[in-house]
């Protein structure tokens, strides 16, 4: 059944569903179209949307220091290498 799967609203809803202190990868939000998440977030950047909780699959940040400060402020664990510790901060699965 060909489901729409990735509408802007659907993506935004997934990002809003990320609990404080946790993070998720672009691929987890939009499987098969990770660039979609970035494109949508860029257009919908707002305080209502915790875009900083969305990081790359390897734990690196896409927006840089801006994003890192937000995550550290929420208690997201970082590695000595300067990347998010996905091993502990990445959501196991989408509650949806």
Partner DNA sequence: GGACTGACACGCG
Partner DNA sequence: GCGCGTGCCAGTC
Give residues in contact with DNA (CB under 7 A): 6, 25-27, 32-39, 41-42, 44-45, 51-52, 54, 56-58, 62-63, 67, 81
| CB closer to DNA, 21 vs 79 | 79
| Number of helices (H), then strands (E), in the chain | 5, 2
* N residues, the chain: 96
| CB closer to DNA, 19 vs 31 | 31
| CB closer to DNA, 47 vs 96 | 47
Kindly state the smallest distance separating residue 53's Cβ from DNA, in Å.
9
Kindly state the smallest distance separating residue 43's Cβ from DNA, in Å.
7
Kindly state the smallest distance separating residue 22's Cβ from DNA, in Å.
15
- Judged on CB neighbours under 10 Å (0-12, 13-18, 19+), 76 is buried
> What does each C-alpha distance from 13 to 30, 41, 49, 77, 85 come to in angstroms?
12, 11, 9, 24, 24
């Amino acid at each position: 059944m060909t489901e729409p799967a990735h509408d802007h609203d659907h993506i935004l809803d997934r990002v809003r569903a990320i609990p404080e202190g946790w993070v998720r990868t672009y691929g987890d939000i939009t499987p098969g179209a990770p660039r979609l998440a970035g494109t949508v977030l860029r257009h919908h950047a707002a305080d209502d949307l915790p875009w900083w909780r969305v990081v790359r699959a390897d734990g690196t940040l896409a927006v840089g220091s801006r994003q890192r400060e937000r995550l550290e402020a929420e208690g997201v664990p970082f590695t000595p290498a300067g990347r998010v510790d996905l091993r502990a901060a990445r959501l196991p699965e989408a509650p949806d």
